[in-house]
Structure 1
Amino acid sequence: MKLTSLRGVRLTILISILAGLGLSTLIAAQWTGNTEVTSASGDAALQHYLLMVSTAAASFLVLVFGVLGVFAVSSEYSSGMILSTLTAVPKRMRVAGAKSIVLVVIATVTALIVVAAGLLAGVAFAPDALVQLGSSVVISGALGTVAYLVLFTLFAMGVAGILRSAAGAIAFVTGVAFVLPVAFQMLTMTGWEWVTTAIDYLPVMLGNTLAQGAVEAGSGPGYWGSLVAMVILAAVTLIPAAMIFARRDAR
């Protein structure tokens, strides 16, 4: 696959895996060093521990996955390989679909490795948590985090397809992932009710909800609502990007 042959993509995947494992290990070590995590803690506490250890890194790695999505598009334009790609496969929508599928596979495998490594690190530091690995809360939280990272990768891919600029796309994705939450937190001081509602639908908040597993949410869209919102977020950029790709000059 052309995408996996790019050094930037391979490096991004490696950084994701190593950073995820490192952060999960640090969290597990810190947690078990300050709090005793045993079967006496209760099922809910063990589930919370496993999900925190395995999914907390996603809050930081989401930008790395966003960069992966940007590279999936911008690398071909910067190198001029997009012209050879379209020469080999003239049907542009087929090219766009194939690139999306390949990116989904790569992002999914990478995210699964990151989350699975986090779960293993959690069990390594607290063996009693092993019995909760198969619980519905842990499984749904782990898969929810994987879905969040994959969908954000597609969102970033769409942004790159629209802007056709690696620097611009990365700046935009960074703003959505990290700057918007800070801006909206500041806006809460205005007392406007719509701000509180909007915060619940920011990608980082949706990711946090998905990481908690399929449990009853106190407020906000809930687990399945957050998943739908992330799908819509990805579609908001992917669909226009595909339409632009089909009509705009590739050079």
Structure 2
Amino acid sequence: MAAAQVLRSEWTKIKSVNSTVWTLALAVIFSVGLGMLISALTKNDFKNLSTKDKLTFDPTFISFSGLSLGQLALVVFGVLVVASEYSTGMIRTSLAAVPQRGTFLFSKVAVAALLTLVIALITAFASFFLGQAMLGDHHTTLSAPNVLRAVLGAALYMTLMAMFSMGVASMLRSPMLALGILMPFFFLVSPILNSVSATQKVARYFPDQAGQRMMQVVTSGDDVPYGPWGGFAILLVWVAAALIVGYVLLKKRDA
């Protein structure tokens, strides 16, 4: 089957599954809604912040506070895109139609990643503008230094996290197993380890922690040894590793 046909086939699969559509919608709602709420609460509490916190205040990053929850919906989306065919048994039919497993996997990832990027761009810009509106006098503008880079970085972060989950799902082949590992890790394990001084130096290199640097404008005042571009590079390595291992296992194993 030609690559263009495979891409069309994968697009048809994604748009025909209601659960994947709903996860994308929830990603937008959670990200934008929670970002607005936290931005509004930050505005009301700004006068109570310490002098240090006021000096290092990052209004752009505050408006992206909801992305930590929204990314979980994108993780679910990434897992479902890849692993749902294993749970239904459709993977045998798909691989019979597209025996070139590399073409099969990376066409699926490419279509899902492009769709995620579109949703992520909408989410990032909506989160930014609505969050800044909630911040009132403490807001920033898109024309301020590094702000546009951070907004685009937020969209890219969400897309890469979805792609990472696709790679993990390809490795594990089970939606329940993949979600059973990824959801607790990103929602509980990673934040907890990053907040404990003994494990913080390791946790800062986790994909979510590194990727979040991409959407920060103010990075002074912390001891993280890399900036937004370093965070992007680290996250990219995680994504590449997950997809490569997923492809190798797909190629070696039976459907």
TM-score bracket, normalised by the shorter chain, equals: 0.7 to 0.9
Alignment match of 1:197 (pick from 190, 197, 201): 201
Aligned residues: 236
Aligned: 1:235 with 2:240: yes
- Summarize the Cα distance change of 1:93–1:113 in structure 2 as closer, same or farther, 3 Å threshold: same
* Amino acid corresponding to residue 238 of structure 2 in structure 1: L
8 A Cα contact 2:193 2:203, kept in partner: no
What is the deviation of 1:166? 0.9
Q: How does 1:88-107 map to 2 (within 5 A)?
A: 88-107=97-116
- Summarize the Cα distance change of 1:221–1:123 in structure 2 as closer, same or farther, 3 Å threshold: closer
C-alpha distance in 2 between matches for 1:129 and 1:187? 31
8 A Cα contact 1:139 1:213, kept in partner: no
Alignment match of 1:155 (pick from 143, 153, 164): 164
8 A Cα contact 1:100 1:154, kept in partner: yes
8 A Cα contact 1:137 1:213, kept in partner: yes
8 A Cα contact 2:35 2:65, kept in partner: yes
Give a deviation string over 1:178-219, Cα, whole Å, max 9, x none: 31342464571xxxxxx4421221233213322213856743
| SS of corresponding position for 1:221 | coil
C-alpha distance in 2 between matches for 1:161 and 1:96? 8
Residue 41 of structure 1 corresponds to which residue in structure 2?
Answer: none
Residue 192 of structure 1 corresponds to which residue in structure 2?
Answer: none
Long gaps (5+) in structure 2: 1-10, 48-53
Residue 7 of structure 2 corresponds to which residue in structure 1?
Answer: none
Please provide the CA RMSD for this pair.
Answer: 2.6
| SS of corresponding position for 1:147 | helix
Residue 210 of structure 1 corresponds to which residue in structure 2?
Answer: 214
Long gaps (5+) in structure 1: 37-43, 189-194
State percent identity of aligned pairs: 28
Give a deviation string over 1:219-243, Cα, whole Å, max 9, x none: 3222111111001111221101111
What is the deviation of 1:35? 4.3
C-alpha distance in 1 between matches for 2:208 and 2:225? 13
| SS of corresponding position for 2:178 | helix
C-alpha distance in 1 between matches for 2:24 and 2:62? 22
| SS of corresponding position for 1:56 | coil
- Summarize the Cα distance change of 1:212–1:184 in structure 2 as closer, same or farther, 3 Å threshold: closer
What is the deviation of 1:16? 0.7
Give a deviation string over 1:53-108, Cα, whole Å, max 9, x none: 1x111122222211111101111111222222223222111111101111111211
Q: How does 1:5-20 map to 2 (within 5 A)?
A: 5-20=16-31
TM-score, with structure 1 as normaliser: 0.83
Give a deviation string over 1:2-39, Cα, whole Å, max 9, x none: 11221110110111111122112212322334448xxx
C-alpha distance in 1 between matches for 2:240 and 2:250? 15
- Summarize the Cα distance change of 1:248–1:206 in structure 2 as closer, same or farther, 3 Å threshold: same
Residue 40 of structure 1 corresponds to which residue in structure 2?
Answer: none
What is the deviation of 1:172? 1.3
8 A Cα contact 2:59 2:140, kept in partner: no
Residue 179 of structure 1 corresponds to which residue in structure 2?
Answer: 189
8 A Cα contact 1:181 1:202, kept in partner: no
Please identify, of 157-166 and 129-138, the stretch whose mean Cα deviation from structure 2 is larger.
Answer: 129-138
Alignment match of 2:226 (pick from 221, 228, 241): 221
C-alpha distance in 1 between matches for 2:192 and 2:226? 20
* Amino acid corresponding to residue 14 of structure 2 in structure 1: L
Please identify, of 124-133 and 22-31, the stretch whose mean Cα deviation from structure 2 is larger.
Answer: 124-133
C-alpha distance in 1 between matches for 2:194 and 2:139? 38
| SS of corresponding position for 1:132 | coil
- Summarize the Cα distance change of 1:213–1:143 in structure 2 as closer, same or farther, 3 Å threshold: farther
- Summarize the Cα distance change of 1:186–1:50 in structure 2 as closer, same or farther, 3 Å threshold: closer
